[in-house]
Amino acid sequence: MNLIKNYLTIHLKVSLEYRLSFILSLISQGLYMLIELFAVYALFSKFNLLDMYDVNEVLLSFSTIWLSFSFCEMFFRGFDNFSKLIIKGDFDILLIRPRNVYLQIFGSDVCYEKLSRVITALGLFVYSSIKLIRSFSFWKILLLFNMFLGGLMLFLGLFIMGATMCFYTIQGLEVVNIITNGGKQFAEYPMRIYRRALRLVFTFVIPITIINYYPLNYLIGKTNNLLYVFLPLISFIVLLVGTKIFNYGMSKYYSTGS
């Protein structure tokens, strides 16, 4: 825990070296997310979809994904930018240190500029939950937490899988961004607007629908099945598979040279 604390403290000090730049970055990151939210509402208003979907349901779907994704970008940026460690040869140094490799990759990059996204998404998440859920219970509160946790494990698993590709390609692949950022943008909208084939892909291949689509049925009272409360935790499989793939790629790594 002391090592994690030191990592976080060092990166915070680095971010605050240029405070004006840091503050402007915070503002721009928060505004970017709000612009994305405005685009969602603009499209729904243009095509009269707000008459078919509850506004707070849309907002909860949006904020759930953004909260998980932004939190992952903030604290696990090292995996998203793993190609930099490979290109510079810094990953070789991590391998000879008597510390866990995953922990060192985590400590290699912490992006505090994403904090404004996390705070804004959290605010929208709490607001939409209060507006959407008529009566709170222990299981509904647990489900809200599991939605965040499931999204975090899903995106972290995808980041780790993307990092694994760098063992073979050195440079990161754009297809990884298509899956992570594209998946995030896909999940900003209620899944019912997409065709069944797409919903199946994002349920059984990239299980984003289990984070915010199916759990909503329990939150708004359409089902009382408690399995929905733990459904988002299935994304742990993605994280587990990601670490297994990364470990295999690491076992085949022989350095990039100088």
Mean pLDDT lowest among 47-51, 80-84, 169-173: 47-51
Q: Structural domain tally of the chain?
A: 1
DSSP 194: S
Tens digit of pLDDT for each residue in 126-141?
Answer: 999 999 888 888 999 9
**Does 201 reside within a domain?**
yes
Spatial separation of the C-alpha atoms in residues 243 and 254, rounded to whole Å: 19
pLDDT at 140: 93
Residue 4 in this model has a pLDDT that exceeds 80: yes
pLDDT at 118: 94
**Does 258 reside within a domain?**
no
Domain span at residue 48 reads 2-251
**Does 168 reside within a domain?**
yes
- In 3D space, the residue among 53, 65, 67 whose CA is nearest the CA of residue 190 turns out to be 53
**Does 165 reside within a domain?**
yes
Share of the chain above pLDDT 70, in %: 95
**Does 226 reside within a domain?**
yes
Highest mean pLDDT out of 19-23, 142-146, 188-192: 142-146
**For residue 252, what pLDDT band results from cuts at 50, 70 and 90?**
confident
Residue 47 in this model has a pLDDT that exceeds 90: no
**Does 257 reside within a domain?**
no
Burial of 95 (0-12, 13-18, 19+ CB in 10 A): exposed
**Does 256 reside within a domain?**
no
